[in-house]
Amino acid sequence: MFLSIAAWPDVGVTERELDQAQASVQRMFGKETKAVLVTIPLLSQDKEAVFILCNQRWGGDTLVVLASFKGNAAAGYAVVDNVKGKDQLITYIVAVDSSLVVKDLEILAYREAYGGEVRYKSWQKQFFGRRPGEELRPGKEIKNISGATISARSVTFGVKKVLSVLAAVRDRLPHTPLETQ
Amino acid sequence: MFLRSALALVGVVILISASTFSQGEPKTSLGGYGELHYNEPDGHRRGMLDFHRFVLYLGHNFNEKLAFRSELEIEHTLIEAGNPDGGELSIEQAFLDYQINRSFGIRAGIILPPVGLINTYHEPPTFNGVERPSVDRVIIPTTWRESGAGLYGNLVEGLNYQLYVVAGFRADGFSGSNGLRNGRQRAFESNPANPSFTGRLDYSPCLGLFLGGSFFVGNSSADLDSIGDAMVSLWSGDVRYSVDGFALRAVGAIGTIGDADKINAQFNAAVADRIYGYYVEGSYNVLPLLCPDSEEELNFFGRYEKYNTQAATTGFEPFKQYNRSDIVFGLTYKPTFNTAFKFDYTFMNNELNSGSFKNTRQLNLGIGYYFF
């Protein structure tokens, strides 16, 4: 468990959030799947690719992925990240299937005084089916939430960034459990 | 043995690195909002330029659960000793939040009674029109802050609640023209004699639709026995809906003032038994029609407001000049989501329409911003 936390220094995920994340991934991909924590080093060309794709910088030198397997085949991948809301971090998890199409989104920790509407499934569903490279703009493809504009924008930019970093390391994502060892 | 010590050491090192990181999280944050107004009455008399509000936001997180939030406001830029026409410096909000879990948090300090829409969401780019709606000034006395404490949280998906006990109104400030407005204690040496209850439910049944219901109930006698309890109640409902560049918002509020006859016997202020107001506003963002890729907004809007601070009176006939309506047309240009250039033309009508209460018109220009 310590190792897991250490593997996630770039986003500052706590042990509790990691437990939550693992439970979320199980729920998102199904009971029969098993998730493995994989750390993928990010090279400078990966980071450059992320910037070109979404005009945002990925903070750390690694990407930590919860890779989900059903038997020997990859069911999908999930990434935990933080974005800044009005003045607090919002911790969220994005799950994509094996072809990087968004399958689910969940807010693991929301700490703001107002604007918790980003936790509503009706809003999160707008991301389902989206792919890396697709336009994801607040107020355009993704509706804003009146009274929660800042957090809705932050999470929208966050999902776009996570999809971009997954696309940048697409070839290095594990396709079988063996590749994670 | 060696392996075990090595593992323990690795554990320690990793724990340290994890805690080092958590110190890097934002703890104290600064932000703010403001609005500059130009108002020109009747469209051709000389107008007035005013930096109406300049607000600094300061927040601090003590840990995952405990946070402080505050807003310090300077109104009308200038505060000068001996100048009664100057502005004011005030703490608009300052409270501690203790969020125990998602559905249960405790809030205490100077808080905003969550009645109506504007009192809670007042950053200028979030509403149309240079001036706040009249209903949110005269019927719901925005900006309205009082000392108090209470609970807040999210019950089920889509449903949020807030419930507070705060210092009540003081009936000696009530009036026929401004309703409850000057009865606010504004957390300034508040008289705690009349603890009042205020709360709000927010419900979002589907994407883009928000429904709200809010209330404020409490006595306002502030230890003055001659005016009875002077119980005040204010009830409000609001709707916000947006789809494809079209946005609709509507707010209704009704207030009752108990013992208004006794208040009037004491203070001679023509206080009504009942006040009410509502407004309906529609807006449409035309910019996607002109340049589909733009993320800027150009919202044309129209708003109709009806408000009466003497809807029912005892012992005297309601004054016709306090039965008012506003019609506002304008546009809001938003180069970013948090900045706005505003223009509007407002028709202010009342039922009397004579003497010093003639119907008037006003041209308003404004800029507004917020950042956090």
The per-residue pLDDT for A27 is 92
Taking an 8 Å cut-off on Cβ atoms, the answer to whether A12 and B25 are in contact is yes
Cα(A118)–Cα(A122) distance, integer angstroms: 9
ipTM surpasses cut 0.90: no
**Pair B87, B74: CB distance under 8 Å:** yes
- The band of B46, judged by pLDDT with boundaries at 50, 70 and 90, is confident
What is the average pLDDT score of chain A? 88
Would an 8 Å CB–CB cutoff place A16 in contact with chain B? no
Would an 8 Å CB–CB cutoff place A86 in contact with chain B? yes
Cα(B342)–Cα(B365) distance, integer angstroms: 6
The per-residue pLDDT for A79 is 95
- B56 found inside a domain: no
- Helix, strand or coil, per DSSP, at residue B321: helix
Convert the pLDDT of each residue in B141-171 to its tens digit: 999 999 999 999 999 888 999 999 999 999 9
- B337 found inside a domain: yes
Percent of chain B with pLDDT over 70: 92
The per-residue pLDDT for B13 is 37
**Cβ-based neighbours of B8, under 8 Å, separated by 6 or more:** none
Cα(A76)–Cα(A21) distance, integer angstroms: 14
Nearest chain A residue to B203, by CA? A117
Kindly tell me the burial class for residue B39, based on how many C-beta atoms sit within 10 Å of its own C-beta (0-12, 13-18, 19 or more).
middle
Give, in degrees to the nearest 5, the angle at Cα B278 between B175 and B323.
Answer: 45
- The band of A59, judged by pLDDT with boundaries at 50, 70 and 90, is confident
Segment B262-283 mean pLDDT: 96
- The band of B222, judged by pLDDT with boundaries at 50, 70 and 90, is confident
Would an 8 Å CB–CB cutoff place B246 in contact with chain A? no
- Helix, strand or coil, per DSSP, at residue A58: coil
Taking an 8 Å cut-off on Cβ atoms, the answer to whether A88 and B61 are in contact is yes
Partners of B120 on chain A (C-beta within 8 Å) are 114, 147
Structure tokens that stand for B96 in this block: 């501690």
- Helix, strand or coil, per DSSP, at residue A11: coil
Convert the pLDDT of each residue in B173-208 to its tens digit: 999 999 999 999 887 777 788 899 999 999 999 888
The per-residue pLDDT for A1 is 32
- B33 found inside a domain: no
- The band of A113, judged by pLDDT with boundaries at 50, 70 and 90, is confident
- B58 found inside a domain: no
- Kindly tell me if the per-residue pLDDT of A7 is higher than 50: no
Tally the residues of chain B: 372
Kindly tell me the burial class for residue A13, based on how many C-beta atoms sit within 10 Å of its own C-beta (0-12, 13-18, 19 or more).
buried
Nearest chain A residue to B24, by CA? A12
Sheet strands (E) in chain B:
28-41, 48-61, 66-75, 88-101, 104-111, 146-156, 159-167, 195-206, 209-219, 231-243, 246-257, 274-285, 297-312, 323-334, 339-350, 360-371
Give, in degrees to the nearest 5, the angle at Cα B334 between B160 and B202.
Answer: 10
Q: Which structural domain range is residue B343 located in?
A: 2-18+87-371
**Cβ-based neighbours of B138, under 8 Å, separated by 6 or more:** B178, B179, B181, B277, B307, B309, B324
Segment B287-293 mean pLDDT: 91
- Kindly tell me if the per-residue pLDDT of B21 is higher than 60: no
- B244 found inside a domain: yes
Residue in the structure block whose two tokens are 């939030």: B69
Amino acid at B138: V
Kindly tell me the burial class for residue B124, based on how many C-beta atoms sit within 10 Å of its own C-beta (0-12, 13-18, 19 or more).
buried
Chain A nearest C-alpha distance from B235 (Å): 21
What is the sign, positive or negative, of the torsion defined by CA atoms of A60, A57, A136, A49? negative
Residues forming a β-bridge with A35:
A68
Partners of A126 on chain B (C-beta within 8 Å) are 207
**pTM of whole model > 0.80?**
yes
The per-residue pLDDT for B342 is 98
Quote the DSSP letter at residue B179.
B
Taking an 8 Å cut-off on Cβ atoms, the answer to whether B26 and A120 are in contact is no
Would an 8 Å CB–CB cutoff place A84 in contact with chain B? yes
DSSP B246-312: EEEEEEEEEEEETTHHHHHHHH-----SEEEEEEEEEEEE-HHHH-TT---EEEEEEEEEEEEEEEE
How many CA atoms lie less than 13 Å away from B223 in the CB half-sphere?
4
- Kindly tell me if the per-residue pLDDT of A50 is higher than 70: yes
- B50 found inside a domain: no
- B350 found inside a domain: yes
Structure tokens that stand for A62 in this block: 């690694």
Cα(B143)–Cα(B2) distance, integer angstroms: 66
CATH number of the structural domain spanning residue B237: 2.40.160.10
The per-residue pLDDT for A114 is 76
Structure tokens that stand for B85 in this block: 């026409």
- B129 found inside a domain: yes
Taking an 8 Å cut-off on Cβ atoms, the answer to whether A149 and B297 are in contact is no
Taking an 8 Å cut-off on Cβ atoms, the answer to whether A87 and B31 are in contact is yes
Partners of B99 on chain A (C-beta within 8 Å) are 111
Q: Is the peptide bond before B142 cis (omega within 30 degrees of 0)?
A: no
Tally of structural domains, chain B: 1
Would an 8 Å CB–CB cutoff place A12 in contact with chain B? yes
Greater confidence (A87 vs B324) lies with: B324
